[in-house]
Amino acid sequence: MEKDLKSKTLKELEELAAGFGQKDYIAGYIFSFIHVRAVKDIDSITTLSKSFRRQLTEEDYFISRLEPVDKLTDPDGTIKYVFGLPDGKRIESVLLFDDDRRTLCVSTQAGCSMGCVFCATGRLGLIRNLTAGEIVDQVNVIGAENKISNVVFMGMGEPMANYDEALKAVRILNHPKGKNIGIRHLTISTCGIPEGIERLADEDIRPRLAISLNAPTDAIRQKLMPITKKCPLDRLFSAIAFYQRKTHNRVTFEYVLIKGVNDTVLHARMLVKRLRGVLCNVNLIEYNPHSGCIWQPTENEAIERFAGVLKEAGFETTVRRKMGRTIKAACGQLGSKENLKCKN
């Protein structure tokens, strides 16, 4: 049984309180003290009776807390936080500034098992899943010194491979008695696990969905993303169609442009064909090199040509600015072996 009170939704805290003979509203005190007042221990929840606090402690309940071990700032303003986990592992989170919007990119796993070859995190392999409390606490700690407007589950790890904890984190962050972050300001990004997408369609809470696509065909995508062998594009787009029938929500496709691999006008036209009939927008991302990779980013002119094909076909298309490169905080760069304890 999870003993970390920070990992529990309000409903789970109500069930816990009832088990101790307490009223539902007591759970609300616990939840708000943890996620609004950021208390560090059970004794700090002063609205609880001393006897109940003692009972919780004696039953080994606790309130976890991530400890930042490093903070790096890029000249463009991007901030990368390195957190130490209780077992000695480390994760990274990135805060991005865009005019008045502050977007926090959080991790859901230490390392990642997906093995996408353009991503530094994939080189680590999966170290372990994060708990809901560890996911949420990235927001709590960083939010204590920065007002956060959006949270994207796009950091280290594959959220759909840690589905239960990721969704619990969404519920906790969205709840009005906690951080109260609007559901349209929470985004889960996946490399394309169909079962997770279909499961998300049936939830009573629906964050935004982003899908890392990166290729218009299975042949190209399989070179970049090993998951394609298990889940080809037809299976992925079947799950997307199911998701949209159930939710009527737009999805965002993330497409990393790599020179000579997936970035030609022909590739763009093939992508248009693949996306026909899907309610979506496309984010084009310049490839961010990292140690051990042989590829190069696409030149600006080729990016604009690629974007032009998509726009002419009627797809809302955004070219994502390069941010955080000098501190290895850009898309695909999280997981520097200088900062993280990893498997190999």
Catalytic residues: 92, 331
Angle (CA) 272-275-280 rounded to 5° is 115
Instruction: In whole angstroms, give the CA distance from residue 109 to residue 169.
Output: 13
Instruction: In whole angstroms, give the CA distance from residue 214 to residue 233.
Output: 11
Question: What are the strands, taking DSSP E only, across 230-322?
Answer: 251-257, 280-286, 316-320
Instruction: In whole angstroms, give the CA distance from residue 328 to residue 335.
Output: 8
Contact assessment for residue 89 and residue 339, using Cβ atoms and an 8 Å cutoff: no
CA dihedral (173, 60, 164, 162) positive or negative: positive
Q: How many CB atoms lie within 10 A of CB 282?
A: 22
Which of 256, 175, 163, 265 has the alpha carbon at shortest distance from 209? 163
Instruction: In whole angstroms, give the CA distance from residue 157 to residue 190.
Output: 9
Strand bridging mode 79-84 / 90-98: antiparallel
Instruction: In whole angstroms, give the CA distance from residue 61 to residue 75.
Output: 42
Instruction: In whole angstroms, give the CA distance from residue 197 to residue 200.
Output: 5
Contact assessment for residue 241 and residue 251, using Cβ atoms and an 8 Å cutoff: no
In the block, residue with structure tokens 């030149």: 299
Phi (first) and psi of residue 208, to 5 degrees: -65, 155
Contact assessment for residue 196 and residue 190, using Cβ atoms and an 8 Å cutoff: yes
